[in-house]
Amino acid sequence: MAKKNNPEVKRGRGRPRKVRPSKTIWKLPEGVRFVARNRNHSQALTHRWVAYKNNQVVGYYKTPKEAEDALNK
């Protein structure tokens, strides 16, 4: 066991931190973004993906695939 003032032993104080899993980042097509919508209406929690073209909103969708399909139509 090392002595208390030994500089070779480096231990963190307190509870050890959990290792965070790596984030998965998807490539989104141009014109599809994730948005946090206002919660004052019924579709606020279900339709969170927006499709837009030339700064005009095409619509709000449940999944990025649905938004991409609407953008391509």
Q: Could you tell me if residue 8 is inside a domain?
A: no
pLDDT of residue 53: 92
Q: Could you tell me if residue 25 is inside a domain?
A: no
Give 66 or 2, the one with higher predicted confidence.
66
**Degrees (nearest 5) of the Cα angle 54, 57, 59?**
140
Q: Could you tell me if residue 10 is inside a domain?
A: no
- Within a 13 Å sphere around the CA of 49, how many CA atoms are in the beta-carbon half? 17
Provide the residue range defining the domain that includes 45.
Answer: 32-72
Number of H helices, E strands in the chain: 1, 3
Residues 7-62: tens digit of each pLDDT: 666 667 788 788 887 776 778 888 998 887 667 776 666 778 899 999 899 998 98
Q: Could you tell me if residue 2 is inside a domain?
A: no
Give residue for tokens 């931190």: 17
Q: Could you tell me if residue 54 is inside a domain?
A: yes
Q: Could you tell me if residue 46 is inside a domain?
A: yes
Residues 4-18: tens digit of each pLDDT: 666 666 667 788 788
Number of separate domains in the chain: 1
The DSSP-derived string for 18-53 is PPPPPPP-PPPPTTEEE----TTSTTTTT--EEEEE
Show the tokens assigned to 66: 């649905």
